[in-house]
Amino acid sequence: MTVHIDKRRSFRNPVACPVYYSDGDFHASGMTENLTSRGGCLRGTHAVTVGMQLLVLLIRPSQEALLVKKATVRWVGDEHFGVELSEEDCGPVGELDEADLDGAQGTVSYMTH
């Protein structure tokens, strides 16, 4: 019998909201499956690889959109992938300004739909 230990530090609430993500070379869209301040599970239109750094825009219902300047892909499944988030790399889109973007690590790409 195999025992699986849940290494997550917090319970992941089921959350379904549109998401746009990019590594600077591609732009893709998808949906969240679950989400916490430390990570989440996404399903999207473009394949990613473990270790990839993504810029993610979450369109939260009844709230401001949330821009995650650095989301690290931690695992990849058939149609889903998991990302690790850091609270210091997240911010409501309405509160971000040019100074915030200038301090971003790596390529900053503007995603439009």
Instruction: Compare 92 and 6 and report the one with higher pLDDT.
Output: 92
pLDDT average, residue stretch 82-110: 59
Which residues fall within 8 angstroms of residue 30, CB to CB, at 6 or more apart?
Answer: 18, 19, 20, 21, 42, 43, 44, 45
Residue 100 lies in a domain: no
Residue 22 lies in a domain: yes
pLDDT average, residue stretch 10-27: 86
Range of the domain at 50: 13-95
CA distances to 9, 36, 59, 62 from 86, rounded to whole Å, are 13, 10, 18, 23
User: pLDDT digits over 38-81, tens only?
Assistant: 889 999 999 999 999 999 999 988 788 888 889 999 999 988 99
What is the reported pTM? 0.70
Question: How many structural domains does the chain have?
Answer: 1
Residue 5 lies in a domain: no
CATH number of the domain encompassing residue 54:
2.40.10.220
pLDDT average, residue stretch 4-8: 48
